[in-house]
Chain A
């Protein structure tokens, strides 16, 4: 069965640097891959969606890449700020007739 892995350890980054989070999956490539942000005690907030045939997607300081050969998506935050501190979740959308498969998330801490 499809498995999704996100680094379970917290990622500590100095303010101003680029933070890079990893989402790895096994087996078949998803049709779409989504990234969400979740703050403590809150629901996730949708950030970006990237399609299987897209290599890269950008939104302001955010960038997502999708490498079907490596079975990996990378989520980048450039010029990171303390306000970017949160848990970031990736979710695989295998296409029609399948529900989203969620990762457990990676906690990002941006130090001032």
Chain B
């Protein structure tokens, strides 16, 4: 149980392209979804938290207009990296929780998306 699917797993595209990443909870309803960015040998960096039907809460320093998040249903959240540039290249991971943003419920992660901007 508690399976989260993230798609695509890898994207390589030219600078200026917008890229959409999908995160789906397959067998449970995710009250909250989280979007992280991870650099090699570094801890997970939370970018934003989204709740179904409401605006995402972005962490300090994360550009809202650059990283668009939509949480249209209890099983789907999308992250769109708009006009991506090489510095946006990274490993992006989503997670889903049946609890709220500050719940002690464990988070269930997707397998991540490796984004490479040329």
Interface size on B, residues (CB 8 A): 24
Contact between chains at A43 and B6 (CB < 8 Å) = yes
Q: Does A34 contact B (CB under 8 A)?
A: yes
List of A residues within 8 angstroms of B101 by Cβ: 99
Interface centre among B49, B94, B112, B114 (most CB of A within 10 A): B112
Tell whether A43 pairs with B104 under 8 Å between CB atoms, given A99-B46, A105-B43. no
Interface residues of B in 23-55 (CB under 8 A from A): 41-44, 46, 49
Of A56-64, A78-86, A90-98, which binds chain B? A90-98
Find residues 62-118 in chain B having any chain A CB closer than 8 Å to their own CB.
91, 93-95, 101-102, 104, 106-112, 114
Option from B4, B46, B93, B102 in Cβ contact (under 8 Å) with A95:
B102
A99 and B43 CA atoms in complex are apart in Å by 14
On B, residues with C-beta under 8 Å from A are 2, 4, 6, 41-44, 46, 49, 91, 93-95, 101-102, 104, 106-112, 114
Question: Can you sample 5 A-B contacts with CB below 8 Å?
Answer: A36-B109, A41-B112, A43-B110, A95-B102, A99-B46
